[in-house]
Structure 1
Amino acid sequence: MADSNPLERGDRALGSRQLAAMLPDLAGARPAYRHLAEAISALILDGRIALHVRLPAERELAIVLNTSRATITAVYDLLRERGFAHSRQGSGTWTDLQEGRGTTGVTRLLGPEDIAIDLARAAPGLPGQALADALATVAPHLSEHANTPGYHPYGLPDLRAAVAERFSRRGLATVPEQILVTSGAQHAFTLVLALLCRPGDRVMAENPSYPNALDAMRRARLRTVSVPVTDTGWDIEIIESTLRQAVPRLAYLIPDFHNPTGCLMPQQERARLLRAAQRSGTWLVVDETLAELALDVPAPPPLASHATPRGSGQIITIGSMSKTHWAGLRIGWLRAPARLVTELAGQRVATDMGGSVLDQLLALTLLARAGELVPPRLEHLREQRAALAAALNEHLPDWTWRPPPGGLSLWVDLGEPIASALAERALDYGVRIEGGAYFATDPGIFEQRLRIPYTMPPDTLREAVRRMATALADGPSPSPASRRPHWVA
């Protein structure tokens, strides 16, 4: 096969059509050669293009991409200059990785071990005593399950009932048959994409958005149609127009303390969104991972609670315990029509027979204690947010942001497009952080933004800001650079 997986081919060559299918739509991007080089660099760092693989011949790739050979020559020159490729006399151009870089696959999830302050992941930890108490509570129940096969593709019945009751308590009547327990919200989302979408389908996504969800869409080879989220929120007229004109198969939205901007979608806009999606026949996937992290306003009801009976059949709500409790628990869920839950459970069995019984029992215990555990967490987040804001005002007064009413991070405007270069330099000062470009649906934007989580203790946040200010002040001003993050949560 001409364009089979390069990892399976003896000659380790990447076909031109295969490479073209992996590249995002760069229509209008200027200069084209630079954006193409950055896209290929990102694929190498992400592990989607293997190392030591021969890239397509320049003329062949130029024809497939409908561009000039001079453009592809410039792309390959830039890849070689940046250490992502090297040439062998008479045998083409091969992928490479410059010293000090690493791929962003599974082996890079934890990031560099020597980074003292990691601001790339907006994920708070679980107090040790709470975990110890929960473990003590579930131990007797675990022994009861030990004599069973332990496979629960839908999730433990008691946990499904608890999650359903949680939705009902928040204003969206739900029965356990509408719940599928998953290994996190990301797992839920990938199951939905695999069942409902096919390569080439249009999907609507916010810009910026959660990068792991965007990556899941790219890996599924979906065509992303973006709608903007600014400091002031969503333009509902643009969303309505996009749904009407593009008629996407699916839309992925984070209306509750949006990641990374922190915006909260107003109730009247939610109703308009639901009506527009119903008219276009678009499946809505609503990510509620951050919905309970309301710091300055009441926690919002589920978006699906605004739907009419006719429009509720194409809404899927996903959530998890990663942000409210602990990401290490790997417990998430989705709420959908019972028929779809059955289909998704069948989809899940093909790759995952069911989640850990121990984790689900822990989740059940922690959810029962949510009224006790979540309020102190919210108070700590308020204190940490205030400490981060004060440190930024003191050390980096030219940076601006809007205080979010909830969530876990600030979406900071640096005033100039230096975010990736500054993030690269900050590594040398013991701070790992990701520039705004990683949250973009399209290449080359949000270079003036940083997402800065306030999930660490106040003293740690103050020290991180001091180090970033030092990194910015030392040496010449950073210029925009091509950089792909290791991993973001």
Structure 2
Amino acid sequence: MAVGERRINGHLLARLVEVGADERPYYLALGRAVSALVMDGRIATRTRLPAERDLATALGVSRNTVTAAYTWLREHGYLDSRQGAGSWTALPQATSGRAAFVPDSERIDLGVAAPAAVGGLEAAVRAAAERLPAHTGGPGYSVLGLPELRHAIARCYTDRGLPTTPEQVMVTNGAQQALALIMELLVQPGDGVLVESPTYPHALDAARNRGARLRTTGVAPDGWDMECVADGFRQWRPRVAYLVPDFHNPTAALMGERDRATVVAEARRAGSTLVVDESMADLAIDAPAQPPPMAAHDTDGRVFTVGSVAKLMWGGLRIGWIRGTPPMLARLAALRQRFDLATPVVEQLAAAELLSDIARVRAERSRELRAQRDALAAGLREWLPEWRFVVPRGGLVLWVKLPRPVAGALADAASRHGVRVAPGPLFGAEGTLEHFVRVAYTRPPEVLADAARRLAEAHAAVAAGPAPAAGEVFV
């Protein structure tokens, strides 16, 4: 069926949308209601929506309100428009891309940046089981986390140059829950949220789910342009800024101490809250002198720090945390009870056991990642010398620039050759980054060497095809 043949009139759409007359901002509530109808299948994709004037009349609102709602739908990928042809429903491009973050056992999976378990995990779980009887006499719910784990996390921060007490730590079910809770607490529909480009896709989702207006500041493989970052704070004065300063995902850049101080100062001047994701902070390979955490420059409690054991220890150990002020953690704990009551006790005990031996764990992971990183880099240099990347000093991934903007096509071709990679647009807030792919070095060196050869075959297949048509890619 051609675009525009499927239609919905203003009266019917007004009846389907469920928006209270007192919801504010109304345009945003209307846009989200229409997008929900599309996502639920109640309005099919490629359905032509009514003219703005017709829907405004049916709803009894101004045309400007409907124009703003349609603009929001377009910006979030739920609406396609052509001048003179109208507007029709669509699904956001990011919906199909999320599959790259689902582990694929049938291919060499370089799309998911998650290493295998570190040595000593099984022993830590056994030790946790032995300590469990000390906790079974109570209800098992600790909304802020077990005291021994909060002590262990606080000690790690103090050792890194950021004095921390257990009262400043709240344990969560992974970093993802921590981010979602913070966004739920701080962001209201229409609020501005400053994010890096590229950045961690699930953080984008957490902000979008709150109806945030995303603003971006760029990150190159060699780091941040502080003038651009400062301009972002001064121009937009965002409610929240989300940053990944430690082995940034996906560029693996490491922010220096002076730049961290600059970010906190600019956030203070703009009245912004900082959400700092340190999920990769423990993954140094060639960076022996890492800067202190960004919160070390915080003087008024505006920095929330998110951490996790998933990247250092194992993704299956779903332990994350938030470092903040005790009053803000109390608000987060109250909010959390809408979703769950606590983090599992055995997992917390196992994480505390491993954190007590964190120097060994870090050293072991660093040795492993160095061998894997170097194997992938060598393989890409041998098989794909035209690909460009900066060898990172830590983290789990290479951020690779391709000769042409064909990341999506390359990801599809690589899958056919038995390899999964994450195309750059997954990490962009605006559909950009087709010149890039993220390639994780979380598999054994011999597997990564084979993956490089397969990627070369996939790239050759893409290069042999027609060049991307103008207007079909974003660079």
What is the TM-score normalised by the length of structure 1?
Answer: 0.80
Deviation at residue 50 of structure 1 after TM alignment: 3.1
Residue of 450, 454, 471 corresponding to 1:467: 454
User: Which residue of the partner structure matches residue 124 of structure 1?
Assistant: 115
User: Which residue of the partner structure matches residue 448 of structure 1?
Assistant: 435
Residue of 309, 321, 341 corresponding to 1:321: 309
Structure 1 residue 331 corresponds to structure 2 residue 319:
yes
CA RMSD in angstroms, aligned pairs only: 3.1
Structure 1 residue 50 corresponds to structure 2 residue 4:
no
Residue of 146, 151, 159 corresponding to 1:161: 151
Q: 1:276 to 1:430 in 2, by over 3 A?
A: same
Structure 1 residue 195 corresponds to structure 2 residue 199:
no
Deviation at residue 266 of structure 1 after TM alignment: 1.6
Residue of 179, 194, 202 corresponding to 1:212: 202
Q: Structure 2: how far apart are the matches of 1:147 and 1:460?
A: 47
Deviation at residue 196 of structure 1 after TM alignment: 1.1
State the identity as a percent: 39
Q: Structure 1: how far apart are the matches of 2:204 and 2:368?
A: 30
Question: SS of the counterpart of 2:231?
Answer: helix
Residue of 324, 341, 344 corresponding to 1:356: 344
User: Which residue of the partner structure matches residue 395 of structure 1?
Assistant: 383
Q: Structure 1: how far apart are the matches of 2:95 and 2:191?
A: 31
Indicate if the aligned counterparts of 1:472 and 1:478 stay in contact, CA closer than 8 A. Answer: no
Deviation at residue 300 of structure 1 after TM alignment: 2.8
Q: 1:419 to 1:166 in 2, by over 3 A?
A: same
User: Which residue of the partner structure matches residue 415 of structure 1?
Assistant: 403
Residue of 153, 171, 174 corresponding to 1:181: 171
Structure 1 residue 429 corresponds to structure 2 residue 414:
no
Q: 1:370 to 1:149 in 2, by over 3 A?
A: same
User: Which residue of the partner structure matches residue 439 of structure 1?
Assistant: 427
Q: 1:109 to 1:260 in 2, by over 3 A?
A: closer
Structure 1 residue 303 corresponds to structure 2 residue 294:
yes
Question: SS of the counterpart of 1:225?
Answer: strand
Residue of 217, 230, 234 corresponding to 1:227: 217
Structure 1 residue 170 corresponds to structure 2 residue 157:
no
Q: 1:296 to 1:17 in 2, by over 3 A?
A: closer
Q: Structure 1: how far apart are the matches of 2:209 and 2:458?
A: 35
Q: Structure 2: how far apart are the matches of 1:4 and 1:356?
A: 40
Question: SS of the counterpart of 1:213?
Answer: helix
User: Which residue of the partner structure matches residue 141 of structure 2?
Assistant: 151
User: Which residue of the partner structure matches residue 265 of structure 1?
Assistant: 255
Q: Which amino acid aligns with 1:313?
A: G
User: Which residue of the partner structure matches residue 31 of structure 1?
Assistant: none
Q: 1:289 to 1:251 in 2, by over 3 A?
A: same
Deviation at residue 171 of structure 1 after TM alignment: 0.8
User: Which residue of the partner structure matches residue 373 of structure 1?
Assistant: 361
Deviation at residue 156 of structure 1 after TM alignment: 0.5
Question: SS of the counterpart of 1:59?
Answer: coil
Indicate if the aligned counterparts of 2:309 and 2:318 stay in contact, CA closer than 8 A. Answer: yes
Indicate if the aligned counterparts of 1:134 and 1:362 stay in contact, CA closer than 8 A. Answer: yes
Q: Which amino acid aligns with 1:59?
A: P
Question: SS of the counterpart of 1:354?
Answer: coil
Q: Which amino acid aligns with 1:370?
A: I
Deviation at residue 131 of structure 1 after TM alignment: 2.1
Indicate if the aligned counterparts of 2:250 and 2:438 stay in contact, CA closer than 8 A. Answer: yes
Q: Structure 1: how far apart are the matches of 2:254 and 2:452?
A: 26
Deviation at residue 130 of structure 1 after TM alignment: 1.6
Q: Which amino acid aligns with 1:289?
A: S
For 1:13-57, what per-residue CA distance to the aligned partner results, in whole angstroms no more than 9, with x for missing partners? Answer: xxx97684489xxxxxxxxxxxxxxxx9xx99xxx8134633553
Deviation at residue 244 of structure 1 after TM alignment: 1.5
Q: Which amino acid aligns with 1:217?
A: A
Q: Structure 2: how far apart are the matches of 1:173 and 1:304?
A: 10
Question: SS of the counterpart of 2:51?
Answer: helix
Q: Which amino acid aligns with 1:247?
A: R
Q: 1:424 to 1:73 in 2, by over 3 A?
A: farther
Deviation at residue 199 of structure 1 after TM alignment: 0.8
Q: Structure 1: how far apart are the matches of 2:413 and 2:181?
A: 37
Question: SS of the counterpart of 2:215?
Answer: strand
Structure 2 gap ranges (5+): 1-13, 20-26, 54-65, 75-79
Structure 1 residue 283 corresponds to structure 2 residue 270:
no
Q: 1:152 to 1:225 in 2, by over 3 A?
A: same
Q: Structure 1: how far apart are the matches of 2:377 and 2:87?
A: 41
For 1:209-237, what per-residue CA distance to the aligned partner results, in whole angstroms no more than 9, with x for missing partners? Answer: 01111111111110111111112211111
Q: Which amino acid aligns with 2:457?
A: T
Q: Structure 2: how far apart are the matches of 1:453 and 1:336?
A: 31
Q: Which moved more, 1:257-266 or 1:134-143?
A: 134-143
Residue of 326, 331, 334 corresponding to 1:346: 334
Q: 1:480 to 1:354 in 2, by over 3 A?
A: farther
What is the TM-score normalised by the length of structure 2?
Answer: 0.82
Q: 1:136 to 1:166 in 2, by over 3 A?
A: same
Question: SS of the counterpart of 1:272?
Answer: helix
Deviation at residue 122 of structure 1 after TM alignment: 0.5
Q: Structure 2: how far apart are the matches of 1:441 and 1:72?
A: 28
Indicate if the aligned counterparts of 2:257 and 2:292 stay in contact, CA closer than 8 A. Answer: no
Indicate if the aligned counterparts of 1:124 and 1:326 stay in contact, CA closer than 8 A. Answer: yes
Deviation at residue 465 of structure 1 after TM alignment: 1.4
The count of residues paired between Structure 1 and Structure 2 equals 428
Deviation at residue 268 of structure 1 after TM alignment: 1.3
Q: Which amino acid aligns with 2:434?
A: E
Indicate if the aligned counterparts of 1:422 and 1:478 stay in contact, CA closer than 8 A. Answer: no
Q: Which amino acid aligns with 2:107?
A: A
Deviation at residue 280 of structure 1 after TM alignment: 1.2
For 1:253-277, what per-residue CA distance to the aligned partner results, in whole angstroms no more than 9, with x for missing partners? Answer: 0111111111111211111111111
Q: Structure 2: how far apart are the matches of 1:352 and 1:204?
A: 28
